[in-house]
Amino acid sequence: EDKVVQSPLSLVVHEGDTVTLNCSYEVTNFRSLLWYKQEKKAPTFLFMLTSSGIEKKSGRLSSILDKKELFSILNITATQTGDSAIYLCAVGAGGTSYGKLTFGQGTILTVHP
């Protein structure tokens, strides 16, 4: 069974701090790893990574994938209160699970002013 594990489960920081969120996975027929941010309702797409070692970056957020060690990290620098959310890692697989995303349990990030 495909498995995605995120750590830490929750994190409390102050504005300006840098945070690192972790995602490890065990998936048959790995295709891609995605990061989403979920505030009140809909998860919003952040990054998709398919190749190892390539960093995806958008403003203060960046992510990298290590396909050999089966993990990814999401970095947020100079955090702001608007970064407070649940960050979800999901893995896309092939084979009989083609098109299915398996989500980790999420990291709850709270940024205090």
Partner 1 sequence: DTEVTQTPKHLVMGMTNKKSLKCEQHMGHRAMYWYKQKAKKPPELMFVYSYEKLSINESVPSRFSPECPNSSLLNLHLHALQPEDSALYLCASSQEQGMDTQYFGPGTRLTVL
Q: Is 111 exposed, middle or buried (0-12, 13-18, 19+ CB in 10 A)?
A: buried
Choice between 59 and 113, CB closer to partner 1: 59
Q: Nearer to partner 1 by C-beta: 20 or 105?
A: 105
Closest to partner 1 by CB, 12 or 78: 12
CB of 16 to partner 1, least distance (A): 28
Among candidates 86, 83, 84, which has minimal Cα distance to 103? 86
Give the footprint of partner 1 on this chain (CB under 8 A): 31-32, 34, 36, 41-45, 48, 88, 90, 92, 94, 98-101, 103-106
Q: How many CB atoms lie within 10 A of CB 82?
A: 9
